[in-house]
Amino acid sequence: GPVIRFDDVHFQYDHDRPILKGVSFEVPAGKTIAVVGPSGAGKSTISRLLYRFYDVSSGAVTIDGQDVRDITQNSLRSAIGMVPQDTVLFNDTIAYNIRYGRPDATDEEVRQAARMAQIGEFIESLPRGYDTPVGERGLKLSGGEKQRVAIARTILKAPPILVLDEATSALDTKTERDIQSALDAVSKNRTTVVIAHRLSTVINADEIIVLRDGQIAERGRHPDLLMRD
Ligand code: ADP
Ligand code: ADP
């Protein structure tokens, strides 16, 4: 996988309130870094800057030395597989939603990704939102089920970079454990940023960054950080 770097990144959504205040870190090729910290610390903002939903106010985000602002949107988005906190699905079958991002995938590949994300039984169903009419095959998906669709999509796409933003937060403990191992398998040798609330979900990270109030308060490996808790 590629190398990701954040170099003295400052960012604010609004003029008067800085959100990231000089954040620097590197994710070496194929390694996994976890960003943990309290709600509002700026964790998701990091993923949004990487994916270029927003641009830095100062500093730089680079992939293999190239500023993300110089990468076309298409190549950036094909390089990054993102599992966001809230997944919005297309109003089409689950299979369609999983295949999105890899239109060439075979039906069997789609089914396998769906099984790994434990959403296999639903793939011919249509997701139904609060605002869409109930179709014949309409199925109201829970937050956790939508999250599994996004995970299946990412497993199928298997991009060089993975960004998992609280990717399993809406799942029960057993499902979370099973899907976590599927995600660990995909993230092997891919450059991965895991965003998490709880330290306990990131035991496999090569490095953990603790973000507080837009700054890196601590960094280290899982057992060391736990001891300092
Ligand atoms: P975390 O992921 O650590 O919970 P976020 O990165 O989502 O934190 O948010 C950091 C801060 O930025 C929060 O105070 C949040 O309210 C604010 N924020 C997030 N998104 C926006 C936005 N689109 N406009 C303005 N403020 C935002
Ligand atoms: P793209 O430019 O590839 O459409 P977006 O930035 O619009 O990507 O979305 C980011 C990711 O979120 C996409 O790769 C896709 O996985 C998912 N996504 C985007 N729009 C939708 C949508 N309307 N419904 C479901 N998933 C979506």
Query: pLDDT value at position 56?
Result: 97
Tell me: the pLDDT tens digits for 37-72? 999 999 999 999 999 999 999 999 999 999 999 999
- Site residues for ligand 1, CB cut-off 6 Å: 13-14, 19, 37, 39-45
Q: What are the pocket residues of ligand 2 if the criterion is a CB atom closer than 6 Å to any ligand atom?
A: 77, 82, 88-90, 100-101, 153
- What string of DSSP letters covers 158-223? --SEEEEESTTTTS-HHHHHHHHHHHHHHHTTSEEEEEES-GGGGTT-SEEEEEETTEEEEEE-HH
CA–CA distance, 141 with 93 (Å, rounded to integer): 12
Q: Who wins on pLDDT, 70 or 224?
A: 70
Q: Are 146 and 87 in contact (CB under 8 A)?
A: yes
pLDDT at residue 225 greater than cutoff 60: yes
CA of 97 to the centre of ligand 2 (A): 10
**Closest to 10 (Cα-Cα) out of 214, 216, 218, 219:** 214
- Its pTM stands at 0.84
CA distances from 98 to 155, 166, 172, 200, 218 (A): 9, 19, 21, 28, 37
Residue 131 has what pLDDT?
46
Task: Give the distance (Å) from ligand 1 centre to CA of residue 111.
Answer: 35
Ligand 2: residue whose CA is nearest its atom 7: 77
Nearest ligand atom owner, CA of 82: 2
- The encoded tokens of residue 73 equal 């949107």
Q: Tell me the CA–centroid distance for residue 93 and ligand 1, in Å.
A: 32
Sorting pLDDT into bands at 50, 70 and 90, what band is 102?
very high
For residue 165, the ligand 1 atom closest to its alpha carbon is: 2
Better-predicted residue by pLDDT, 139 or 221: 221
